[in-house]
Amino acid sequence: MAVEYDRHNASSGANSYYERPATIALLGDVYGKRVLEVGCGTGPVTEWLVDHGAAVVACDVSAAMLEIARSRVGDSAELHHHDLAEPLTFLEDASLDLVVASLVFHYLRDWVAPLRDLHRVLRPTGSVVMSVHHPAWDWRNHCPEDYFAFLQVSEVRVEPHTVTFWRRPLTAATDAVSEAGFLIDRLVEARPNPELEMRDPSAFQELTTGPFFMHLRLRPAQPDGSVAGIGGKSS
């Protein structure tokens, strides 16, 4: 589905006018930073990071997605074929300023081990910006009878392809974040960019009145519970 996904991602309201702008807003200035992008897909964010002066390492489990990402960024980013369920052996401890994980963590059953590994490779001042399906969206669509269900579900997101992912309640996500040694700096329920109203009024209406994706920005807690640059101990 890589080619169809790439086309969809470039034009869909949910990606171009909602998810990606909210991700970029959380990244801040990336110029001169060493950034890891996990689940980079066909590389729209990879390309944005390169264009904005970051030194980028990116990875994805799909060779077909990576091939399109490669055609987008050439040799200006280091790309790896990698399953996030495995350790990031190609990265040294405390070697990154920022991690971007856009729409990938809901494909993983376990978040703790991959997040711990991201904690390992991040500098103390670093952060993780991630987006996932909003738990309320998946609740409404897959398990309205049980908000607390943690289960694998499938749906068609890009016609005609079915994708399978993990639906979890909000506290399963936040507990995994804490267990992996992170604190939540921001939790964002984005709204679409106003231009979407003209381009796709029904998508605009849907994304303005209900949650679809959720963004988190995480900061690594240090062994004494503090967060670099903030001071004080966390509880």
Ligand X SMILES: C[S@@+](CC[C@H](N)C(=O)[O-])C[C@H]1O[C@@H](n2cnc3c(N)ncnc32)[C@H](O)[C@@H]1O
- Footprint of ligand X (CB under 6 A): 9, 39-41, 44-45, 60-62, 65, 83-85, 102-104, 107-108
Minimum CB distance to ligand X, residue 166 (Å):
10
Q: What are phi and psi of 170, to 5 degrees?
A: -55, -40
Residue with tokens 């309640």: 169
Those residues with Cβ within 8 angstroms of residue 225's Cβ, 6 or more apart along the chain or in another chain: 233, 234, 235
Instruction: Identify which of residues 61 and 112 has a Cβ nearer to ligand X in the complex.
Output: 61
- Among candidate residues 90, 80, 79, the one with its CA nearest the CA of residue 120: 90
Alpha carbon 105 to its chain's center: 7
Identity of the residue, 63 or 198, whose beta carbon is nearer to ligand X in the bound complex: 63
Q: How far apart are the first and last CA of the chain?
A: 44
60/117 with CB nearer ligand X: 60
Minimal distance, residue 104 CB to ligand X, in Å: 4
Q: Count of residues for the chain? A: 235
Which residue, 26 or 84, is less far from ligand X as judged by CB? 84
- Min CB(177)–ligand X separation in Å: 18
Smaller CB separation from ligand X, 108 or 176: 108
CB of 102 to ligand X, least distance (A): 4
CB of 227 to ligand X, least distance (A): 26
All residues at 6 or more sequence positions from 165 whose CB lies less than 8 Å from its CB, including other chains: 106, 107, 133, 152, 153, 154
